[in-house]
Chain A
Amino acid sequence: DQQVKQNSPSLSVQEGRISILNCDYTNSMFDYFLWYKKYPAEGPTFLISISSIKDKNEDGRFTVFLNKSAKHLSLHIVPSQPGDSAVYFCAARGGADGLTFGKGTHLIIQP
């Protein structure tokens, strides 16, 4: 049973527009959520995180929103740039365990 779900395998966005990547989770014990960016054959790179006690965290072009009641979080990238093209993983943490990842969304930024 997948506890972290990213239902969109891919997303295509025009350069300069907003990219919105979505993530749903089922485990109410998760208390910390992270977004990672990953290029092929490389390890993930941390982007931004949010604690379950917050509903928004912003860092430059990246903003993460958390809706606890809906068990939903989203990553907004604005404006989208060509270098943002990558696979984005949503991850969640519960207690001292390792991270649980979604399957990823391949973001393609079109010129």
Chain B
Amino acid sequence: GAVVSQHPSWVICKSGTSVKIECRSLDFQATTMFWYRQFPKQSLMLMATSNEGSKATYEQGVEKDKFLINHASLTLSTLTVTSAHPEDSSFYICSASSGTQLGLFFGSGTQLSVL
């Protein structure tokens, strides 16, 4: 099946620093990528939808200046958490779609801990 690679799998950073998370579709071209976050014992919450070559669409309540999403190619999307704070500590997951099986392929997730 299709493979989506997400890196890093975990990261610890100091408050105020920025962290970049990469999501790559390894064997298909992802026209659309989605970014989710999950707090402990909570559901996966959609943060934003990005289409290759265009600006991401953010869900209500998600700060676009804080969570920068870049989808510059059909195989790579990045999420940058800028000026991270402890409340940003969460599990971030990307998913990639080729357009035929929407959102069916997920990355392995990134556990972010902000000290």
Q: Are B108 and A93 in contact (CB under 8 A)?
A: no
In chain B between 75 and 115, which residues have their CB closer than 8 angstroms to a CB of chain A?
91, 93, 95, 102-109, 111
What is the interface size of chain A, counting residues whose CB is below 8 A from a CB of the partner?
24
Q: Are B104 and A43 in contact (CB under 8 A)?
A: no
Of B13-21, B42-50, B63-71, the stretch lying at the interface with chain A is B42-50
Q: Are A102 and B109 in contact (CB under 8 A)?
A: no
B interface bracket (residues with beta carbon within 8 Å of A) = 20 to 34
A104: B residues at CB distance < 8 A: 43
Complexed CA–CA distance, A32 and B50 (Å): 20
Determine whether A111 belongs to the interface, using a CB cutoff of 8 Å to chain B. no
Q: Are A41 and B42 in contact (CB under 8 A)?
A: no
Q: Are B102 and A89 in contact (CB under 8 A)?
A: no
Q: Are B43 and A102 in contact (CB under 8 A)?
A: yes
Closest Cβ of chain B: how far from A92's Cβ, in Å?
Answer: 11
Q: Are B103 and A99 in contact (CB under 8 A)?
A: yes
Render A49-81 as a binary contact track against B, CB cut-off 8 A, 1 for contact. Answer: 100000000000000000000000000000000
User: Which of B6, B91, B102 is most buried by chain A, counting CB atoms within 10 A of its CB?
Assistant: B102
Closest Cβ of chain A: how far from B74's Cβ, in Å?
Answer: 17
Given known A96-B102, A97-B49, contact A103–B107 (CB-CB < 8 A): no
Q: Enumerate 25 A-B pairs (CB-CB under 8 Å) in ascending A order.
A: A41-B9, A41-B91, A41-B109, A41-B111, A42-B109, A43-B6, A43-B106, A43-B108, A43-B109, A44-B44, A44-B93, A49-B104, A97-B49, A98-B36, A98-B46, A98-B49, A98-B95, A98-B103, A99-B34, A99-B44, A99-B46, A101-B44, A102-B43, A103-B41, A103-B43
What residues make up the interface of B, taking CB atoms closer than 8 Å to A?
4, 6, 9-10, 32, 34, 36, 41-46, 49, 91, 93, 95, 102-109, 111
7 new A-B contacts, CB < 8 A, other than A89-B44, A98-B103, A99-B46, are A32-B102, A41-B109, A43-B93, A43-B109, A44-B93, A91-B103, A100-B46
Across the A-B interface, give the 4 residue pairs with the lowest CB-CB distance, nearest first.
Answer: A43-B106, A98-B46, A98-B34, A103-B43
What residues make up the interface of A, taking CB atoms closer than 8 Å to B?
4, 9, 32, 34, 36, 41-46, 49, 89, 91, 93, 96-104
